[in-house]
Structure 1
Amino acid sequence: MWTGYKILILSYLTTEIWMERQYLSQREVDRGANFTRNHTILEGTRFKRAIFKGQYCRSFGCCEDRDDACVTQFYERNALCYCDKFCERENSDCCPDYKSFCREKKGWPPHTKPWYPEGCHRDGQRYEEGSVIKENCNSCTCSGQQWKCSQHVCLVQPGLIEHVNKGDYGWTAQNYSQFWGMTLEEGFTYRLGTLPPSPLLLSMNEVAASLPETTDLPEFFIASYKWPGWTHGPLDQKNCAASWAFSTASVAADRIAIQSKGRYTANLSPQNLISCCGKNHHGCNSGSIDRAWWYLRRRGLVSHACYPLFKDQNATNNGCAMTSRSDGRGKRHATKPCPNSIEKSNRIYQCSPPYRVSSNETEIMKEIMQNGPVQAIMQVHEDFFNYKKGIYRHVTSTNEESEKYQKLHTHAVKLTGWGTLRGAKGRKEKFWIAANSWGKSWGENGYFRILRGVNESDIEKLIIAAWGQLTSSDEP
């Protein structure tokens, strides 16, 4: 029995010794880690590697003295081996061909590259040297195993969105996919497009509505409720800087429908203005509302169905596709069929000269309630692009880098009504209801509410309206 115990103990000791040797010779290195040898470790602590035949130092090169970068992959063991002189120790971690190549050959190939692969990593993925990736509006290039990124201020700023939503400002912000990847400057350049009002426009005399002074104005008013089917919803200008055309055409269409008592309800074509109103404007690169109203009076517009928006506003064949002639009494008649061959009606709609409505809150309300929606010129700040719902007021960005981009840019919208609701800090606040031209996925189905009576973002500074130009035969 004693003999059996001795055999058991001897077997246990033999197993322990074998496992210790295996640990020293088979320690694997994590494939994804950036491995470096610790220079503070005493000699003799590098782990011994199992020896297999193959070309290692012969392919990688040999190094004098101790060089922790003189290391290559030992693929058969999924480990590392060295080609520097330091590996010649009792617990050798030299590559299998070190002795046969580095000690016997004098013409060593130069050691020029590190063991780890060149390139950069991002989000667990490896990219080759020279690779370019996009992060929102910035481009990052892999150079020298580091990412070098541009430093543009982006139109969508997650920090600003979070700042608005955490504060009690009365409105909420959202990240819009159509704005992701654009710089702030690109947003101002391509999503607005109305030139600052000319001195002539600002010097126009204000016209007051004919309603009595004692008219009782309701707490809520929405034009589409008073004139159902006669007003028109928001379109999407996309990256065509032409809010000057979209707002003018929409206000004119509403006014013609209301004045004709529903006889002419077609939405008018902003593309007709973009392509044909050629003097002192640049189509999708901005234009003036005074020129747009001049064109509506002198040349007129066809319907949106007749002259729809082009998918590619930069195409070279986007010249004016409509022409017209006068009947001698100021009425224009089209001399070409509709660009949209499906639509047969090429009727041209005209307006009277535009007039300016008083900037007084009550006068604007009277004008909308009596005659229909009006055009408003506002100044857009960077936070407005992210508006989702609520009563908008400008919120200053907390991003110090954005301070140099605190520019005001002119935008044209359509005021369609007003109301009063609880807003910031639970207080009752007055607001305007306005139609934007960024599509129905933006804001409140394409609309937004903005503080009323305090000229928020200059929304009440310049209000424009016009009458439809109807002949006696047009009257209902």
Structure 2
Amino acid sequence: MPGDMRPLRALLCLWLVARAALGSRVRTRRELGPGLYQNGVYDAGGSYCQRGDVCCRGRDDGCTVPYHDTLCYCDLFCNRTVSDCCPDFWEYCLGIPAPFPKAQGCARAGLNYPTGATYRENCNLCTCGPGGQWQCEDHACLMDGELIDAVNRGNFGWRATNYSQFWGMTLEDGIRHRLGTFRPSATVMNMNEMHMNMDSNEVLPRHFDAAAKWPGMIHGPLDQGNCAGSWAFSTAAVASDRISIHSMGHMTPALSPQNLLSCDTRNQRGCSGGRLDGAWWYLRRRGVVTDECYPFTSQQSEPGPQPCMMHSRSTGRGKRQATARCPNPRTRSNEIYQSTPPYRLSSSEKEIMKELLENGPVQAILEVHEDFFMYKSGIYRHTPVAEGKGPKYQRHGTHSVKITGWGEEQLPDGQTQKYWTAANSWGTAWGEDGHFRIARGVNECEVETFVVGVWGRVSTEDMPHK
């Protein structure tokens, strides 16, 4: 053929090599053996070459392994003067020392790992640096063994534990994804308080449990997962109990937090947080269906609410019904439940107790600190165990919960410790079967600052008839 064809042949060769690389089979870690991961560390120095005719004696585009973010050939393609591929080629395939020095590695658990190897230390990623030292992130972890031990060694009146569902999360993750109630605005905080009509000599019981007074009408703790939607969960929980109590057990709906998360979009952010006053406005004006009809699907924080699957219309006599089918196809009960406007209670300990005693569970905001995530049992008070560990441990956020009762406990020193009992929304594996106790009468973590009650919208035909 006329002319010099060598440049064209070189380009064709490069194209064939690239095509073969793209079409080659990448071996899985299981096929490659256990050498890639040791003690939780990604080991870039495994046996990449295979002895025999397949790889070491000739070119085979199918003889590849993943190496960091690229493919690595385990044949004579590695016989080059750079060490970016198959770090054991010279020793394993040719049986001679490499003509260039090996990169300095990092030691861990008696083993040496190359530059770029990584492992996780709880919530922090550690990387082997060029200087042979592990370089680790410095986040405050949601589960901190030192803090757990400090709580359990101290005389704080409660016990801490390590929750596997929180392991590997940063404190920032916990505050961002496990809470989700916006602090009430100044206007809402200044709303008129409703005072209970109390006799100065009135004596309230030392212990009270709403579930014991109203059996079958108090719903269990919910689980919001990594959805920052406590605003919706606590509202649905309190409304469910109140409607059950005020209908004298004729209706016992477990209302849907997902209905609020997806459909209450007026200044709300779904699994990225919301306002309590907005949630109650929606329950009053629109109403929600049951959790069976509209089950929870938002397992983690999202940029905004999921599309609303339910809409409502009036059916007369003050009732409303959903105009769409339930997202759960196994149920047809799409009745809408509503409430009256909420009312704020006084921060007086006794007035909150009387409201609980007479009308049922109430909603409260709670400032959550780093140690609350580790709570296992006992009467919680925010402890000083994280002091001195730096500002990264001083983060806190606003949560909302359902208060269901109260009690008191005799301490070893003879003093009496009063407490509230509350249902959290982190599942029944957390705390005391999903509940926690917190010091009462001292506004611990602002639990008595903003307490809300509500009446279920119940008509006479919803009441049981004798």
Tell me the TM-score normalized by structure 1: 0.73
1:285 paired with 2:272, answer yes
Alignment of 1:168-183 (within 5 A): 168-183=155-170
Q: Is 1:320 the counterpart of 2:308 in the alignment?
A: yes
Q: Are residues 237 and 426 of structure 1, via their aligned partners in 2, closer, same or farther at CA, if it must alter by over 3 Å?
A: farther
Give the SS at the match of 2:260.
helix
Tell me the secondary structure at the aligned position of residue 395 of structure 2: coil
Instruction: Tell me how far apart the structure 2 counterparts of residues 361 and 312 of structure 1 sit (CA, whole Å).
Output: 35
Report the alpha carbon displacement of residue 240 of structure 1 after superposing the two structures with TM.
Answer: 0.4
Match of 1:167 in 2: 154
Match of 1:419 in 2: 407
Q: Give 1:311 shift.
A: 5.6
Residue 322 of structure 1: CA displacement?
0.6
Deviations 1:339-375 (A, max 9, x none): 1111221111000000011110000000000000000
Query: SS at the partner of 1:473?
Result: helix
Within 5 Å, which residues of 2 pair with 1:1-400? 112-113=100-101, 118-144=104-130, 145-210=132-197, 212-310=199-297, 312-313=299-300, 314=302, 318-327=306-315, 330-398=318-386, 400=388
Equivalent residue pairs, number: 372
User: Aligned letter for 1:154?
Assistant: C
- Alignment partners' CA distance in 1, 2:332 and 2:110: 58
Q: 2:33 corresponds to which residue?
A: none
Query: Percent sequence identity over matched residues?
Result: 54
Q: Does the 8 A contact of 1:120 with 1:146 survive in 2?
A: yes
The one-letter code matched in structure 2 to 1:407 is R
Q: Indicate the residue corresponding to 1:36 in structure 2.
A: none
Select which of 406, 430, 445 maps to 1:442.
Answer: 430
CA contact (8 A) 1:194 1:243 kept: yes
Segments of 5+ residues of structure 1 without an aligned counterpart are 1-58, 60-72, 76-96, 98-108
Q: What secondary structure is seen at the aligned counterpart in 1 of 2:270?
A: coil
Deviation at 1:423, TM superposition (A): 4.0
Task: Report SS of the residue matched to 1:443.
Answer: coil
Alpha-carbon separation, structure 2, partners of 1:458 and 1:452: 11
Task: Name the larger-Rg structure.
Answer: 1
Which stretch of the first structure deviates more once superposed, 229-238 or 207-216?
Answer: 207-216
Deviation at 1:330, TM superposition (A): 4.4
In 2, the alpha carbon distance for the partners of 1:407 and 1:315 equals 22
Instruction: Give the TM-score taking structure 2 as reference length.
Output: 0.75
Matched residue SS, 1:433:
strand
Deviates most, 215-224 or 291-300: 215-224
Does the Cα contact within 8 Å between 1:390 and 1:423 map onto a contact in 2? no
Matched residue of 1:413: which SS? strand
- 3-state SS of the aligned residue for 1:401? coil
| 3-state DSSP of counterpart to 2:461 | coil
Task: Check 1:351–1:213 CA distance in 2 against 1; reply closer, same or farther (3 A cut).
Answer: farther
- Residue 448 of structure 1 and its aligned partner are, at CA, apart by 0.4
Question: Cα offset for 1:450?
Answer: 0.4
Shift of 1:214: 3.9
Distance apart, 1:253 and its partner CA: 0.5
Q: Which moved more, 1:332-341 or 1:209-218?
A: 209-218
CA offsets, 1:245-278, max 9 Å, x none? 1001000000000000001112111111111100
Q: Distance in 1 between matches of 2:305 and 2:193?
A: 41
Contact 1:381 1:406 in 2 (8 A): yes
8 A Cα contact 2:229 2:273, kept in partner: yes
Alignment partner, residue 461 of structure 1: 449
Aligned to 1:18: none
Is residue 209–residue 370 contact of structure 1 (8 Å, CA) maintained in 2?
Answer: no
1:295 alignment partner, SS class: helix
Is the CA contact (8 Å cut-off) linking 1:170 and 1:424 kept in structure 2? no
Aligned CA distance change for structure 1 residues 264 and 74 (closer, same or farther; 3 Å): closer
**Structure 1 residues 425 and 123: alpha-carbon distance in aligned structure 2, compared to 1, 3 A threshold:** farther
